[in-house]
Amino acid sequence: MATFRIFTRRLFIILNIVAVIFFLLACANTFLHPAKWWIISLLGLIFPLLLLIVVGFFICWLFVPTRRKWALLSLAALLAGWPNIHSFLAFHPGSRFTVEKPPRSLRILTWNVRSWDEFMFKRGTSTHRAGMMDFIRGQEADVLCFQEFFESHNPRQFAPNIPYIQQQLHYPYYYFSRDYRRRDGLYEAGIIIFSRYPIVDSLQVRYAHPYGSGTTEGLIAADIDVDGYRIRVFTTHLQSVQFRHKEFHDIEIIKNVDDSILLASRSIVKKLKNAYQHRGDQADEVRAQLNKSPYPGVICGDFNDVPNSYTYFTIRGGWQDAFIKKGFGIGRTYVNISPTLRIDYIFADPGLEVLQCRKFPLPYSDHNPVVADLQLPVR
């Protein structure tokens, strides 16, 4: 019996050490470029699990008086990984989002609208578009940033979105990337910025297409004049993993420990590797553009990466994550695969005060919208 206790104790210590090593490797994503360290980038996906395990070991050792010193190992790992923990969890319980905007503030809404879900329904059936438009109208945002925006020039099949948003929702100014366009000109798609204030200038950066495909949107910015104060609003949609029905089916195989788990895992890992590598380069490009901005800036959009990633920390830099600043919890924005995926963000220049921020869980797109109020400096 004594031998079994010794074996169990030593096994527990070894597992603790292994968990801490993997946890710290996951934390190292903040500075390791995924083009070279893509395997370590994968650990970012299980960061919440690793965090839970390390915290569990810390608590367990506290209840073993003769081995309490081992709690220091987990505690040291948690302290070392605090920047990652803080980017993953927002600590503002009881925070409320008020519809009424404070004076001299700018409200920004970002949302991957998944082409307004038009293609998720059979022709002639009711879509989510009307509900999505009603939600946007109710937020009274000053600036709208959409990813996977779809515009139709064939009203017999799909209603045009830009004229509707301009006229019915009262956003007269916009800048559209038009990343994709059908040869006959009937349909366009990309990222777009709408504003109730004048757009006085704009820019667009097209990312290099990964491994020969044309499946990525770009980066755009609009210089907006808010009663004499200029602010540069960026939005982007970084490289996605491009999961299709097959990959979601493969995930179910892995969950159920099916016999074909090895083949399913290879398919998923290959797509993750390609996406991580390309997204790291895109993050570098975004940060370079943010550094060039002549005005205080805001960057928002679908980054397709988690908070403890190279992408997140590179783009955020010294800026403020609006949700971490004023939200509470994990702030999940992507509704598939895992309940811990926050991949849509609003980052604000340090010179802009974040007043409030909220993620809205809605049954429309596969992403949830994020809304934030920013206080503009008094001039």
Mind listing the pLDDT tens digit for each residue in 257-306?
A: 444 444 445 667 777 778 888 999 999 999 999 999 999 999 999 999 99
Do 15 and 132 lie in a common domain? no
Residue 95 belongs to some domain of the structure: no
Q: Measured between alpha carbons, how far apart are the two ends of the chain, in Å?
A: 76
pLDDT at 336: 87
In a domain? residue 96: no
Q: Domain end: 27, 55, 88, which one? A: 88
For 78, left (φ over 0), alpha (ψ -120 to 50), or beta?
Answer: alpha
Region 314-323 average pLDDT: 97
The region that residue 238 occupies, defined by phi over 0 for left and psi between -120 and 50 for alpha, beta otherwise, is beta
**Final residue of a domain: which of 54, 88, 122?**
88
Please count the structural domains in the chain.
Answer: 2
For residues 151 and 265, membership in a common domain is answered with yes
Mark 3-30 as b/e (b = at least 16 C-beta within 10 Å).
eeeeeeeeebeeebeebbebbbbbbbbb
CA dist 70 and 131 (Å) reads 53
**Residues 149 and 296 both lie in one domain:** yes
Domain that holds residue 54: 2-88
- Check whether residue 10 and residue 141 sit in a common domain: no
CATH number at residue 328: 3.60.10.10
Dist. CA 259–CA 77, nearest whole Å: 36
> For residue 307, which amino acid is it?
P
- At 163-183, the pLDDT tens digits run 999 999 999 999 999 998 887
The DSSP code for 257 is T
Could you say which of 88, 115, 133 is where a domain stops? 88
pLDDT tens track for 141-155: 999 999 999 998 888
pLDDT band at residue 215, thresholds of 50, 70 and 90? low
Please name which of 192, 198, 163 lies closest in space to residue 179, comparing C-alpha atoms: 192
In-domain check, residue 51: yes
Same-domain status, 57 and 176: no
* 368 within 8 A of 335, measured Cβ to Cβ: yes
